Structure 1
Amino acid sequence: MSLTNALPADAAQAAKSASHILATLPTSARNDALTAIHKGLSGAKEEILAANARDLELARKAAENGELSLSIVSRLDLGKKGKWEDMLKGILDVRELEDPVGKVTLRTKLDDGLTLERVSCPIGVLLIIFEARPEVIASIASLAVKSGNAAILKGGKESTESFIAISKVISAALESTEVPNSAIQLVTTRDVIPQLLNQDKYIDLVIPRGSNELVRYIQSSTKIPVLGHADGLCSLYLEHTADLAMAIKVVVDSKTAYPAACNSAETLLVEEAALETLLPPIAQALLEKGVSLRCDAASKKALTSKLDSHSVTILQDAEDIDFDTEHLSLVLPIKTVKSVSEAIAHINFHGSHHTDVILTSSSGLAEQFMSSVDSAGVFWNTSTRMADGMRFGFGTEVGISTNKIHARGPVGLEGLMIYKYKLRGGGQVSAEYGEAEGQKRFKHEQLPF
């Protein structure tokens, strides 16, 4: 990894050249680079966390002045319980995954001596633009190296100290490997995002990690394909046959484990038949965790008759906009629905196609929900927070995509691969084949691979 203040076109061109080298390195060389990165970061923990603490101090002051959101401050904290350890484990997990480069996914005999193969290959050059989240550098670097892709990273100013500290360590680690330093670049020049987004000649995919404003800006400002999601409007649907203890556990985790994350629950849909039975104890558990409940009329009426007077006084009234808002905080709107069909309709209209959950003991309703909800992740009786590349066994992820093409959901190694067709022949030409008299017919025999 190199820290660069080069012109965007020069940085992109250098990354493209490096990508051609990286794509042809053997598995062992790419794995050795990941080992070196892990060792370097492990040894520099105190230095990196000290840099992160300096960023956090400035970020908290900015938040107090209304210049920065609390969700960004939360995402910035690399010392948060488990985050540092997860970052390091992700590097080793990626190293141990099967090499995704050069995998044959189709082999067809077109004719005698004419064989077609479809083979996986790297996309090329990735541009990752992100706010906060200093761990992204290690995650992206690991996935890029393993998948044979070059990467250009541009971080937000709120985490400059963290980015520089991590980048210096990774850069030093790569010096002892076969991976070119220019294959992973951190751009330090300010105000160059528009110029980077214009480098469609050299950059093959943009991956934004940040606020919906950032993502929407990038999506509207480049010809380069964009992978990612603007919002994480994840919903939980509580059906009346759900096991109460399980439902409390899942709902509380979905909302409170990490409220600033994109896979945190933002809406609780409750079946009418569950209002008097399941909702009150679930609401009580949420209130005890400091969650502000914004209720529609039916859910507020049910809770008013079941909760103690103090709890009732802190219930809030939901507004329509609450069901279209990614709160990224301990705020949870509650909406009453009559059936699973109404829940599905609400999610497909108001949701962001990220991750949605049904809580029920009915396998039939669960399958109906998971088939009908148009989201990247559709879960049954488990937390929205399970939508994560590491938890899926991808090692780590570059982000979660709500796209309808190429990659969807948590994007790990597989999502950073594309494919090429290799055709091996012996002088055959297209004019020899066809339906006319004297022409040959293709055999199109599927071969094992």
Structure 2
Amino acid sequence: MKQFEANFDGLVGPTHNYAGLSFGNVASSQNATAPSNPKAAALQGLKKAKALADLGLVQGIIAPQERPDVYTLRQLGFSGTDAQVLEKAAKTSPQWLQACASASSMWTANAATVSPSADTSDGKVHFTPANLVDKFHRSIEADTTSRILQAMFYDKRHFKHHAPLPMHANLGDEGAANHTRLCQQYDESGVEIFVYGQSALNPSMPKPQKYPARQTLEASQAIARLHGVDDDCSVFIQQNPQVIDQGVFHNDVIAVGNQNVLLFHEQAFFDREAKLQELQNKFDGELHLIKVPSSKVSVADAVKTYLFNTQIVTLPSGEMAIIAPTDCEEHVGVKAYLDELVELGTPIKQVLYFDVKQSMQNGGGPACLRLRVAMNEQELNAVNSQVLLNDERYQILTKWVERHYRDRLLPQDLADPQLLMETRTALDELTHILKLGSIYPFQR
């Protein structure tokens, strides 16, 4: 039976804007209040996704959230018509309006943690939507994310959906951005790496001092239990608190893996050698652990260019390629390292560069934009086929974006009731294109 790793990219929403909401995310903070281009952002994301489909990879799309979220604003005490709610929030508490208008669901690496059937006790693909409690603007995504994922992976014979973990800081969960799976073949049992920033119940463990550690050990352990991933298939590694304080807010900003390759910065992990030895002991077969030294790429340059927020993909030829943002290509030192990497004799044989600057400026690179789901042929055939990208669907979605999206948006535009109407019109049409049903609050 054939085996695949599908990438499901987040479709950038119509309210893509730079509000600087994510403390600890350097790029997000640096570009706060700058004008954004939602249309360009969505088209850049679609173009990258289509390029991967053209390479012969399985590529899908995850719908964005409804924003501005007037329902949450009402919970915060703003009343009246939708237009009045937006006006009152903009006038008295613009920070709440900005949070409720974030298009951050585009970064679907944070949508959920996924364990393939080869690793789970019941032989199903398991999904747990992330609760994202560390950031208010992201914590309001979980319910809609759950409905979207269930509309995509609806066949209960193959897929099992869990509720998000309880909404508490002790169980802070940021999804697949802190989860990597290594294996020989995608449909064979592998080792799932759960990376956490701190322990909520063991205060003696080290933790960052400047920026928050968004993922807790306890959350990672809970997800492994829910998914039926046993000790032989899991390793729990603490992220280096010092790199979190340098702007490495998720593990996928400092490490990336695929099949039997793990590319990581030498400062990525706490107690690195012991944990990598544990990983090596549990991995069945040859494992390529590629350590990037600070002398080649500093943590600051890794954060600036998102060298590790790249995708490592296996092409139909069996060779691996890195999908990198053009920011890596434009940085002399990082480009030199990537050129050197493909000559090291590892499975990585080429680097492909893509322009995703609208996303990069808001704090997310190629890896942030996708959720990976390893599946066998039967499981892939059970996926809602309308969310899988092909030539026809790419053209339909491109025209949809061009028809509905603005090409310039400032934070003050978020109070425009017309933007809310434009967004709902667009999303209602999108649910028909992708055959998702009534997943948004305004449809229910």
Give the structure-2-normalised TM-score. 0.27
* Larger relative contact order (Cα-Cα within 8 Å, sequence gap ≥ 6): 2
Larger Rg: 1
Give the structure-1-normalised TM-score. 0.26
